[in-house]
């Protein structure tokens, strides 16, 4: 035992990367189990900023082994350039990165398919994706006929023949639907991907078996969620979600590790809420408050640079996602961003057609009509970025974290007051604010 899962409980960018980095010294292996290069996880340490996309955050810590599990979708050129970028920042990959041979591969036509669905559908139907080919690749995985896995890249004869058939199909489809689509040359794509396979060969493994052996050898695993539980394909605000199980529900299927081996389930939340892309957001503040949070929290997408939508903490949504992700503790991030706001609102329920609703409705139409019912908590004016102990936070800041934890029904164990690894408060078990 001793394994941990870290997931976001909102719509992504909750600062999961910082928490994973922080916990690396208690784990031997970090595992990504879903998503792909749509993720952007930031770690700041002693003035240097590292950005991770497909590669587990553990790569920044010497000696930690990192697994890209079977549930991840891999775009080989993006992965190779990320390896190169991090290597140039001094990160040593030697023998520490393992890529599942069961992971699915993103091919160039996936980007065109995404362009098709994002640009030619009516504006009301756009998801506002990161355009990394994630959805189309998962669609092919589930559809089975056109799915390509990493293992396939190491059988050149069969791969050449099969990819030629797939590209013929995709060319015909895309040419009929996208006027400016230029047919892909199957030979060029095949040879390009066979070249990528050679570059990736040292890392490719049966990670499922490797992870099972790691558990048998008493290694502690740290599962690093990407996106957030409200973007989960099954449990999120569908269809404005990503195409994988980005809640903790994805751990088993995406890694081959039964979840009974995990005993710590950390739900990461911002002290407020952000969202990138389309979809309902009941507590969104399209006003001075939202702008202030965006400015102070530097809320711009790590992957796409898009301004993030900002709003108050939504305890209804987080209560629901903490349930789905089985959170046993909360990490409350970016608390410093709220310093100086006189009164802080937290949505404790919604009002829908005159009724009080305490759980997240499935229907998008209903969710869009929900009006948050707020409770107001007093803010604080002090700069808290250098506080390191729970007891040293202003009383109002402690009350705010306590209010959130009680509303969600999960104890808070970590509070973050700045991007740096050191700007973190660990709350001792005996005094954790809880339900």
Active-site residue set = 13, 41
Between helix 186-200 and helix 76-88 the angle, nearest 10°, is 40
Specify whether the CB–CB gap between 333 and 404 falls below 8 A.
Answer: no
From the list Mg ion, ligand IMO, ligand GDP, none, partner contacted by residue 132 (C-beta under 5 to 8 A by kind): ligand IMO
Label residues 14-49 b or e (16+ Cβ within 10 Å = b): bbbbbbbbbbbeebbbbbbbbbbbbbbbbbbeeeee
From the list ligand GDP, Mg ion, ligand IMO, none, partner contacted by residue 242 (C-beta under 5 to 8 A by kind): ligand IMO
Which residue in 163, 226, 266, 405 binds ligand IMO (CB under 6 A)?
226
From the list Mg ion, ligand IMO, ligand GDP, none, partner contacted by residue 98 (C-beta under 5 to 8 A by kind): none
Taking the complex as a whole, the smallest distance from the CB of residue 41 to ligand GDP amounts, in Å, to: 3
Residues belonging to the chain = 435
Q: Which residues contact 181 (CB under 8 A, 6 or more apart)?
A: 112, 174, 175
Q: What is the spatial distance between Cα 415 and Cα 427, in angstroms, rounded to a whole number?
A: 8
104 binds ligand GDP (CB under 6 A): no
Which residue in 129, 246, 302, 413 binds Mg ion (CB under 5 A)?
302
Q: Which residues contact 231 (CB under 8 A, 6 or more apart)?
A: 11, 12, 237, 241, 242, 246
**Binding track over 279-318 against ligand IMO, x by CB under 6 A:** -----------------------x----------------
Between helix 186-200 and helix 156-177 the angle, nearest 10°, is 130
From the list ligand GDP, Mg ion, ligand IMO, none, partner contacted by residue 38 (C-beta under 5 to 8 A by kind): ligand IMO
Q: How far is CA 195 from CA 154, 353, 426, in A?
A: 10, 58, 46
From the list ligand IMO, Mg ion, ligand GDP, none, partner contacted by residue 245 (C-beta under 5 to 8 A by kind): none
129 binds ligand IMO (CB under 6 A): yes
Specify whether the CB–CB gap between 214 and 156 falls below 8 A.
Answer: no
Nearest to 321, CA basis, from 403, 235, 419, 396:
235
Stretch of residues binding ligand IMO (CB under 6 A), selected from 9-17, 58-66, 85-93, 392-400:
9-17
16 binds ligand GDP (CB under 6 A): yes
From the list Mg ion, ligand GDP, ligand IMO, none, partner contacted by residue 336 (C-beta under 5 to 8 A by kind): ligand GDP
Subset of residues 273 to 332 that bind ligand GDP, contact rule: CB under 6 A: 297, 302
Q: How many chain residues bind Mg ion (CB under 5 A)?
A: 3
Specify whether the CB–CB gap between 313 and 271 falls below 8 A.
Answer: yes
Task: Judge if the upstream peptide bond of residue 239 is cis by omega within 30 degrees of 0.
Answer: yes
70 binds ligand IMO (CB under 6 A): no
Nearest to 335, CA basis, from 265, 383, 406:
383
**Which residues make up the interface to ligand IMO (CB under 6 A)?**
8, 11-13, 38-41, 127-130, 132, 134-135, 226-228, 231, 242-243, 276-277, 302
**Which residues make up the interface to ligand GDP (CB under 6 A)?**
8, 13-18, 40-42, 44, 297, 302, 333-334, 336-337, 416-419
């Amino acid at each position: 035992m001793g394994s941990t899962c870290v997931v976001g409980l909102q719509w992504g960018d909750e600062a999961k990367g910082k928490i994973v980095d922080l916990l690396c010294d208690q784990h031997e292996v970090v595992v990504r189990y879903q998503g792909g290069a749509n993720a952007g996880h930031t770690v700041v340490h002693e003035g240097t900023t590292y950005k991770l996309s497909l590669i587990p955050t553990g790569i920044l810590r010497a000696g930690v082994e990192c697994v890209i599990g079977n549930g991840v979708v891999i775009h080989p050129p993006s992965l190779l350039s990320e390896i190169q970028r991090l290597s140039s920042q001094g990160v040593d990959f030697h023998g520490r990165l393992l890529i599942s041979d069961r992971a699915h591969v993103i091919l160039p036509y996936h980007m065109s398919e995404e362009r098709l669905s994002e640009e030619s559908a009516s504006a009301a139907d756009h998801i506002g994706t990161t355009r990394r080919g994630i959805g189309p690749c998962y669609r092919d995985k589930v559809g089975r006929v056109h799915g390509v896995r990493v293992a396939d890249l190491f059988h050149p004869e069969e791969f050449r023949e099969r990819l030629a058939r797939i590209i013929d199909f995709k060319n015909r489809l895309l040419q009929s639907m996208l006027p400016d689509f230029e047919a892909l040359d199957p030979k060029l794509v095949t040879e390009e991907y066979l070249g990528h396979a050679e570059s990736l060969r040292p890392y490719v493994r049966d990670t499922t078996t490797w992870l099972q052996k790691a558990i048998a050898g008493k290694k502690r695993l740290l599962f690093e969620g990407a996106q957030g539980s409200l973007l989960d394909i099954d449990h999120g605000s569908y269809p404005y979600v990503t195409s994988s199980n980005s809640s903790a529900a994805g751990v088993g299927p995406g890694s081959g590790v039964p979840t009974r081996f995990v005993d710590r389930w950390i739900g990461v939340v911002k002290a407020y809420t952000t969202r990138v892309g389309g979809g309902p957001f009941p507590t969104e503040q399209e006003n001075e408050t939202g702008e202030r949070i965006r400015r102070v929290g530097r809320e711009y997408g790590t992957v796409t640079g898009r301004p993030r939508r900002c709003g108050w903490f939504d305890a209804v949504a987080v209560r629901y996602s903490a349930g789905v992700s089985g959170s046993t503790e909360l990490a409350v991030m970016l608390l410093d961003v709220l310093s100086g706001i006189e009164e802080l609102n937290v949505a404790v329920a919604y009002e829908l057609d005159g009724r009080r609703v305490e759980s997240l409705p499935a229907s998008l139409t209903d969710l869009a009509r929900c009006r948050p019912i707020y409770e107001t908590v007093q803010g604080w004016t002090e700069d808290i970025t250098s506080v390191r102990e729970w007891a040293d936070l202003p009383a109002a800041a402690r009350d705010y974290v306590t209010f959130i934890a009680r509303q969600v029904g999960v104890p808070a164990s970590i509070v973050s007051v700045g991007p740096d690894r050191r700007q973190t408060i660990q709350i001792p078990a005996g005094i954790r604010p809880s339900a």
